[in-house]
Amino acid sequence: MFWTEGRRALASDEADSAAETRSQGRSADLALAQAPTQRFARIAILAALLLLVVYTAVAILRLTSGPQSAVEQVLWLLVPLAVAFGLALLLLLESRRVERAHAAFTDSEQRFRLAVEAARCGIWEWDLAEDRIFMSDVTAALFGWRGGVVDGQQVLDRVSEGHRDGLREALSTAAVYGGFDVSFRVPSLAGGRPVWIDARGQGFGKSPEGGFARIIGVALDVTEERLAQARAQSAETRLRDAIESVSEAFVLWDRNGRLLMSNRNFRSFFRLEPTVLKPGIEREELEALARLAVRQEYPALGGRKGVREAELVDGRWVQISERTTAEGGLVVTAADITALKAQEEARRINEDELRRAVANLERSQEQLSELARKYETEKLRAEGANQAKSEFLANMSHELRTPLNAINGFSEIMIAEMYGPLGDTRYKSYAQDILNSGQHLLALISDILDMSKIEAGKMSLRFEPLSLEEVAEDALRLVRDRAESAGLALRLDFDDLPEVEADYRAIKQVLLNLLSNAVKFTPRGGRVTVRAELRDDPMGQRVRMSVQDTGIGITPDDLARLARPFEQIESQHAKTQQGTGLGLALTKALVEMHGGLLDLRSAPGQGTSAAFSLPVRQTDPATLAAVG
């Protein structure tokens, strides 16, 4: 760009100089260039004739005056010859000098043309009277032509329509004042990009109507310059858009401390009016206005050079950074750090609270040590109590089961009248009541012992492949008499299932507990169904078993309490049934020991569904360790 501007200035100066030289001595130069030898020959002939005329007149006078000697006659002969020789020599020297001057002029003009065109400056000459233009090859190439003479209208037709009026006006001005300077666009003949031309020249030659008859000048191809200017303007626009879009305040000063540009965040942060932020305003003046929006300033953390923090009057905090540019100017940015300051304050508060908490912890350390000692004492006491409970249950199991077995055995003998009739039928009924009570008490003792073992982690299961259908049939066989006596229908609905790794006694106990509850709480005419199906699970295949009845159902409040030890539902029907509240708790514990989950669903008057799922293969090491 700078080279182009220099080239344009050089070409303009050369065009002005050439125009001035041509306007002063164009006629003489053309005369010398056309026939220099003939002009000097005519001068020499005229001089020789004049001398001969003078010499003839003198000779006639001398002859009329009397006879002359031979010497005088020789002199009269030699003098004309010497004069003629001298004139001829003078003519030759002058002719050589003129030829050398003409050659130098031609060479100078050729060098001037080459120098101008080498700089991509075309030469042109516009004859305003005839409206014809001489174009050099470079100038013509800018229009898509070859060098030569063209009509002025042709040139106007090649110029873009929007620039023709400007060109006409420049011609009119040059015709009067001499100066010619105009830029215009020429469309490409091949459909490519247009060419931008800067034309500069100077008028010369007087016109009969006044003003100038001709304009001579140069033409410059400034297409790249125009494109560079467009790119620079686009880049500047993008830069301004980017500066406006950043969240920080931005201001740029030149090396003399004058404002170049700023963004809207700078105006917003420091409460400045747009009319104040005019390019060229002094830095001291603008900073004085900006300080009105600052409550106080502090050095940045770490003492970084050119960085400081300021609290604004509206409560916001900004971090101001200053940096010198390569040209000696200054860039100032201000970032909103209000959120960071709030975090620092919150961190400071948290640190204070943490220190107070540490102090409280240190003060309570002795209390914690005392509590730890008490805990250890209570732990030993609890372990002793648990051991005593286990021993008590073991002893009670033996002490209670021994007489209960005798009571139950003799009751069965009396009911069967093995040794003869009892007499009154009421004795047989009493014996039946004794047997039922003994069996109920024996079952209660077994459930309590099992729950105690599970809670103590001493319950051991023996996993082996078994058929769930066979286990379910065994459990149904044990409750079938009670179900038929209660007027209930039992149904078994099993798919084709694989064998499952489980403890036979535990699974049978689970099914017996669920079936007993279903039979117990289902009115006459109801139905109890045992179902099983195979399901795919992300952890492997599982079998889901369910016991569904059409009984009285359970309310949501009661359903949440079930499966806890010694929990029983309170209803009119439940009051007529015996139970300890351990059946579902024991069932839930046994299912979980198999890696399963007990699921109870019920609604009053719609029956109950008790379901549990078992893995086909026991692969969980934690489960195997817990039950082993």
CB distance 178 to 162 below 8 Å = no
Q: What would you measure as the largest C-alpha separation in the chain, in angstroms?
A: 226
The angle at the Cα of 24, spanning 18 to 25, to the nearest 5 degrees, equals 90
Model-level pTM?
0.38
Listed range (138-142, 172-176, 335-339, 566-570) with the worst mean pLDDT: 566-570
- pLDDT tens across 556-602, in order? 777 766 656 555 555 544 444 455 566 777 888 888 888 888 888 88
Distance CA 414, CA 406 (A): 12
Amino acid at 555: T
Beta bridge partners of 537: 540
Amino acid at 528: V
Tokens 């990009």, residue? Answer: 193
Q: Is 521 exposed, middle or buried (0-12, 13-18, 19+ CB in 10 A)?
A: buried
Q: Which residue would you say has higher pLDDT here, 287 or 577?
A: 287
| pLDDT confidence of residue 3 | 28
Tell me what percent of the chain is helix, strand and coil, each rounded to the nearest 5. Answer: 55, 20, 25
| pLDDT confidence of residue 248 | 87
Distance CA 386, CA 3 (A): 103
Distance CA 218, CA 138 (A): 10
> Quick check: 2 pLDDT over 70?
no
CB distance 132 to 149 below 8 Å = yes
- pLDDT tens across 48-81, in order? 667 766 766 766 666 566 566 667 666 666 766 6
Distance CA 469, CA 498 (A): 10
% of the chain residues with pLDDT over 70: 76
What confidence tier does 11 reach under pLDDT thresholds 50, 70, 90?
very low
Mean pLDDT of the chain: 79
Listed range (370-374, 378-382, 384-388) with the worst mean pLDDT: 384-388
Q: C-alpha distances in angstroms, 312 versus 139, 251, 293, 307, 450?
A: 64, 18, 6, 16, 75
| pLDDT confidence of residue 22 | 41
| pLDDT confidence of residue 38 | 53
Tokens of 30: 């053309």
CB atoms within 10 A of CB 317: 19
Domains by residue range for the chain, with CATH: 2-219 (3.30.450.20), 246-342 (3.30.450.20), 368-438 (no CATH), 460-627 (3.30.565.10)
- pLDDT tens across 82-129, in order? 766 766 776 677 777 778 877 887 777 677 666 666 666 788 999 988
> DSSP label at 529?
E
What confidence tier does 230 reach under pLDDT thresholds 50, 70, 90?
confident
CB distance 218 to 115 below 8 Å = no
Tokens of 98: 């003129």
Q: Which residue would you say has higher pLDDT here, 301 or 210?
A: 210
Region 177-193: mean pLDDT is: 89
| pLDDT confidence of residue 580 | 56
> Quick check: 28 pLDDT over 60?
no
Beta strands in 207-258 (DSSP E): 212-221, 249-253
Q: Which residue would you say has higher pLDDT here, 47 or 311?
A: 311
> Quick check: 487 pLDDT over 70?
yes
What confidence tier does 199 reach under pLDDT thresholds 50, 70, 90?
very high
Distance CA 155, CA 568 (A): 113
